[in-house]
């Protein structure tokens, strides 16, 4: 299913085409393609080039490893994300530079890296659905995530599948229009809440 963004002005095709489906077909993703996604993340900018992103990846070509991570998703996400081809846990190192200082921008840095991953995935014919609905305690325990790291979210990655294979409720969500605030509500100039003249 295509759900292109209805933009007010033209944007790059990758941005227009990207969206977060729940219907995946489970087709395996090659190691080469997976590596491209992480390479895209690798080249994100970050505060002091600290590169605080860490990822745990599980592909559905190893059923046990996939289930180990997929079963850390909340049920509402597991029901559809377990049909994707790869699950990725997104984790941030909280250490700054120098190491003694916390990095106040860790979430921003990691978000940038995932943003690049998502666009690289789109360019490779894959969809990514990000999920905050995850059991962080389970991920920390099962994968021995150190205390000075924050578990941010998980990603379900794969080729889009048929919406008809989803439950009725999920089919409705899948078909729901994509909406966004207008620029005037979040781009200000001169004063707070004063819409920039764009
Ligand atoms: C950090 C983050 C957490 C999210 N958590 C969930 C989630 O737990 N479950 C879910 O179905 N969608 C989740 N989403 C997907 C958003 O609902 C979705 O991106 C948003 O509705 C905009 O839709 P679009 O990505 O198709 O443009 C999450 C997205 C982000 C960026």
**What are the domain boundaries of the chain?**
20-163
User: In this structure, what token pair is assigned to residue 57?
Assistant: 């990846």
In the predicted structure, residue 186 carries a pLDDT above the cut 80: yes
Single out the residue of 36, 128, 114 nearest to residue 86, CA to CA.
Answer: 128
pTM, two decimals, is: 0.97
In the predicted structure, residue 100 carries a pLDDT above the cut 70: no
Residue ranges around ligand 1 (CB below 6 Å): 19-20, 77, 130-133, 153, 178
Q: What is the dihedral of CA 24, 26, 32, 37, to 10 degrees?
A: 30
Measured from the Cα of 20, ligand 1's closest atom is: 26
pLDDT in tens, 147-181: 999 999 999 999 999 999 999 999 999 999 999 99
Q: Which CATH superfamily does the domain covering 20-163 fall into?
A: NADH Oxidase (3.40.109.10)
CA of 111 to the centre of ligand 1 (A): 13
Name the phi and psi angles at 35, rounded to 5. -60, -35
Q: What is the per-residue pLDDT for 99? A: 64
Nearest Cα residue to atom 18 of ligand 1: 20
Contacts 24+ apart (CB under 8 A), 42-45: 42/113, 43/116, 44/109, 44/112, 44/113, 44/115, 44/116, 45/109, 45/112
Is the Cα torsion angle 117, 118, 122, 126 positive or negative in sign? Answer: positive
Question: Taking residues 68-80, what's their average pLDDT?
Answer: 98
CA of 20 to the centre of ligand 1 (A): 7
């Amino acid at each position: 299913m295509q759900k292109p963004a209805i933009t007010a002005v033209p944007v790059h095709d990758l941005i227009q085409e990207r969206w977060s489906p729940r219907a995946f077909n489970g087709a395996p993703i090659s190691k080469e393609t997976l590596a491209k996604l992480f390479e895209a993340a690798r080249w994100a900018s970050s505060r002091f080039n600290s590169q605080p992103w860490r990822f745990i990846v599980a592909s559905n070509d190893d059923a046990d490893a996939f289930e180990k991570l997929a079963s850390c998703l909340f049920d509402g996400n597991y029901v559809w994300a377990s049909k994707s081809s790869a699950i990725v846990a997104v984790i941030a190192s909280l250490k700054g530079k120098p190491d003694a200082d916390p990095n106040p921008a860790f979430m921003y840095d990691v978000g940038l890296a995932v943003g690049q991953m998502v666009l690289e995935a789109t360019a490779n014919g894959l969809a990514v659905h990000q999920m905050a609905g995850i059991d962080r305690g389970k991920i920390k325990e099962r994968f021995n995530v150190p205390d000075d790291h924050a578990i941010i979210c998980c990603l379900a990655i794969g080729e889009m599948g048929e919406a008809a294979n989803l439950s009725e409720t999920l089919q409705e969500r899948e078909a729901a229009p994509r909406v966004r605030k207008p620029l005037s509500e979040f781009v200000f100039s001169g004063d707070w809440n004063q819409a920039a003249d764009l």
